[in-house]
Structure 1
Amino acid sequence: MEHIHILMVDDHPIIIEGYQNTLMATKKEHQTLIIDTANNCDTANILLRKAADERPYDVCFFDISLPASSDGTITSGEDLAKICRALMPTTKVVILTMFNESFRIHGIVKEINPDGFLIKSDLTSLELSEAFQHILFDPPYYSSTVSSFLKKAISNDEYVDEINRKILYLLSQGIKTRSLTDHIDLSMSAIEKRKKQLKSLFKVEDGRDETLIMKAKEKGLV
């Protein structure tokens, strides 16, 4: 019997329940699934660190848009995926998200290089079960929208990296631009340049930080 340890992280319990039911109903006869769940970054972080000390997960599913950790250092499923990679290098990392903009997909692939990348609007029970088995034995598995975007060329500066996401998060928490250098190891001119690039990428025509944050929230970046 093969015991497969899984972590599922999503802020909607009913979605996790659906994932669980699908995998349990479609697993192979020789497979036993042991599934932990988390609805926020704090709980997921605790489970990841506990597993790293005891028995690493075989597969971790991370939704991108999650409530930030209480100390603000972990703001998304992307951050959790990086923690997982650092603590448990052999664990298969699967990203699930509603967001399907090209720059978002390319950014996640570049930053995380996930073993599985599924857009929720592509997902059916059949595809989830097929993706799970594929990821276990022959990763990566990318759903159709992801594969389509990855076939198209995109410039290297058209994705939102970890620093840009931190800038967006800090601005969303009310931190003024002049104080960002206290939290990010960049010069003010470098931060201003990044903000300008973000406003261009998100088509912020009025130039206001408030509009930038609104657009970032719409895209699940904060």
Structure 2
Amino acid sequence: MNHINILMVDDHPIIIEGYQNVLMATKRDDQTLHIDTANNCDEAVAMIERASKKYPYHVCFFDISLPGSDDGKYASGEDLALLAKELMPRAKIVILTMFNETFRIHNIIKEIDPDGFLIKSDLTSMELADGFQQILKSPPYYSSTVSNYLKKTISSDIYIDDINRKILHLLSQGIKTKNLSEYIGISKSAIEKRKKHLKLLFLIDDGKDESLLKEAREKGYL
């Protein structure tokens, strides 16, 4: 028998009840599920710390928007996910959220690299059931909004044309932005626009040229 310890954290008890019912109704015959639930950061932290000492969770579901801990140390599901990863490195981390802005999705993937990432508006009971089994067997599992965002991010790489490649190359050679127009036959303002566009494409949050060049190198453009 495959015994699976699960933690579900969401500040809406009825949502947790829904998740529980779906997983219990769709689990495989050889699976026994033990599900703990928490509605805020303090409850969740206590459960994670307790479980990590004896019976670590196999899967943790974290909603992003949660009432923070009283000491202010944990303010969201992201903080809980990082704690769970630290104390229970083998646990599968699943993020559930209403947020579907690309910036937030990008941040969560970058910070947490979850085994499952589900946007609540994508979620059907079938998707939750399938996602759960896939997360156990061969993560990651991302719901459609997250997958589409990732596909866009990857396909956006294609739009780096020759001029943009030249800009990247010259910057990597130490040429200053103000002097780039001497090497490329377009105006300074056009170059600035292209640089902004490149930083968006490469998801550069801090706006620095060094970060842009580092990312371009990693993606094989330099």
Alignment deviations for residues 90-118 of structure 1 (CA, whole Å, 9 cap, x no partner):
00000000000000000000000000000
Q: How does 1:175-186 map to 2 (within 5 A)?
A: none
Instruction: Please say if 1:34 is aligned against 2:34.
Output: yes
The one-letter amino acid paired with 1:126 is M
* Gaps in structure 1 of 5+ consecutive residues: 160-192, 194-222
Larger Rg: 2
Aligned residues: 160
* Gaps in structure 2 of 5+ consecutive residues: 154-200, 208-222
Aligned-partner SS, 1:50: helix
Q: How does 1:44-83 map to 2 (within 5 A)?
A: 44-83=44-83
Number of the residue aligned with 2:20: 20
1:156, distance to aligned residue in structure 2 (A): 3.3
Distance 1:155 1:138 in 2: 28
Instruction: Please say if 1:156 is aligned against 2:203.
Output: yes
Distance 1:36 1:17 in 2: 11
Number of the residue aligned with 1:5: 5
The one-letter amino acid paired with 2:74 is I
Alignment deviations for residues 53-112 of structure 1 (CA, whole Å, 9 cap, x no partner):
011100000000000000111000000000000001100000000000000000000000
Higher relative contact order (CA 8 A, sep 6+): 1
Aligned-partner SS, 1:152: helix
Distance 2:151 2:112 in 1: 18
Taking only the aligned residue pairs, the percentage that are identical comes to 67
Distance 2:151 2:71 in 1: 38
Q: Which runs of 4+ in 1 moved over 2 A?
A: 152-159
Q: How does 1:180-195 map to 2 (within 5 A)?
A: none
Q: What RMSD over aligned residues (CA atoms) do the two structures have, in Å?
A: 1.3
Distance 2:97 2:113 in 1: 15
The one-letter amino acid paired with 1:40 is N
Number of the residue aligned with 2:97: 97
Q: How does 1:189-208 map to 2 (within 5 A)?
A: none
Do the aligned partners of 1:103 and 1:158 also contact (CA within 8 Å) in 2?
no
The one-letter amino acid paired with 2:143 is S
Distance 2:80 2:204 in 1: 23
Do the aligned partners of 1:74 and 1:80 also contact (CA within 8 Å) in 2?
yes
Number of the residue aligned with 1:129: 129
